[in-house]
Amino acid sequence: MGNSAIWFRVLPLALFVALTGLQGKIGPLSIYWIYALKTALAAGLLFWLAGRIPEMKWRWSWDGLGIGVLVFILWIGLTPVLTRIGIPESFLKIGGDVYPWNPLTTWGDNSWIAWTFISIRLLGSTFIVPFIEEVFYRSFVYRYIIKPDFLSVPIKQVHGLSFLITSAIFASTHREWLAAFLCGLIYQWLACRKNGIGEAVFAHGITNFLLGLWVISQSAWHFW
């Protein structure tokens, strides 16, 4: 197996993470325009990789829809429930308080610039991020932990340790780490059940779309 199979699955997320690290570092407005840039570059890269990663596709299903809605509810509801029973919110989040990504505070509620960036973020999180993350975690990391010759491992293969490690890595890249860990387990279960990442991509997109609508409608910018 050539290294290209690995790079095809790693490069989109690596690019996205690298540019994320630059947000806010090239002037205060770079938290917005770099997000737009990385979304556009990732979209182009995914288009180029479409024929090189056979499993990189989305597939509608009732299972995927239900999982997507379930994870959305989990994502917005887990922290409030756990804090009510005495678990400190600081324990449930990585990195502490951060300045929220909110173009409306920068340009105003009626600004077309603000709503352009909000639309880009909603579209990017719904249609780009699910492909990037599911290809990396479900197609590559999960199978690579089982066997370095990961292309020989069927996605449906159940492996307990890989389930936990893959979800832990996924959780480490999100502020709401516990919700993200459970989310990773659920998406991985769906991928194994369907022997492919298509439904997981679809479910992930549903979750992110609903979360984006929640962020906008409830001014819950801390989720972004």
- pLDDT tens string 42-83: 999 999 999 999 999 999 999 999 999 999 999 999 999 999
Tell me the percentage of the chain whose pLDDT exceeds 70.
97
Determine the pLDDT at residue 169.
97
* pLDDT band with cut points at 50, 70 and 90 for residue 98: low
Tell me the percentage of the chain whose pLDDT exceeds 90.
90
Q: How far is CA 107 from CA 29, 46, 102, 174, in A?
A: 11, 31, 9, 27
Determine the pLDDT at residue 53.
96
Determine the pLDDT at residue 63.
96
3 state DSSP class of 43: helix
Tell me how far apart the alpha carbons of residues 21 and 32 are, in angstroms, rounded to a whole number: 12
Can you list the alpha helix ranges (DSSP code H) found in 85-197? 89-92, 103-107, 112-123, 129-134, 142-146, 160-172, 177-194
Report the alpha-carbon angle 181-34-123, nearest 5: 60
| List of residues 6+ apart from 166 with CB closer than 8 A | 137, 138, 141, 142, 145, 184, 188
Q: Which of 10, 32, 33, 36 is nearest to 123 (CA)?
A: 36
* pLDDT band with cut points at 50, 70 and 90 for residue 97: low
b/e sequence 196-210, b meaning 16+ C-beta within 10 Å: bbbbbbbbbbbbbbb
Q: Tell me: the pLDDT tens digits for 131-178?
A: 999 999 999 999 999 999 999 999 999 999 999 999 999 999 999 999
Tell me how far apart the alpha carbons of residues 200 and 135 are, in angstroms, rounded to a whole number: 10
Asked if residue 4 has pLDDT above 50, the reply is yes
Determine the pLDDT at residue 90.
81
Determine the pLDDT at residue 47.
95
Weakest-pLDDT range from 74-83, 91-100, 177-186: 91-100
Asked if residue 89 has pLDDT above 90, the reply is no
Tell me how far apart the alpha carbons of residues 141 and 130 are, in angstroms, rounded to a whole number: 15
Quick one: tokens of 70? 């379930």
Tell me how far apart the alpha carbons of residues 122 and 100 are, in angstroms, rounded to a whole number: 15
Quick one: how far is CA 143 from the chain centroid?
19
Average pLDDT of the segment spanning 99-113: 92
* pLDDT band with cut points at 50, 70 and 90 for residue 2: low
Asked if residue 219 has pLDDT above 70, the reply is yes
* pLDDT band with cut points at 50, 70 and 90 for residue 1: very low
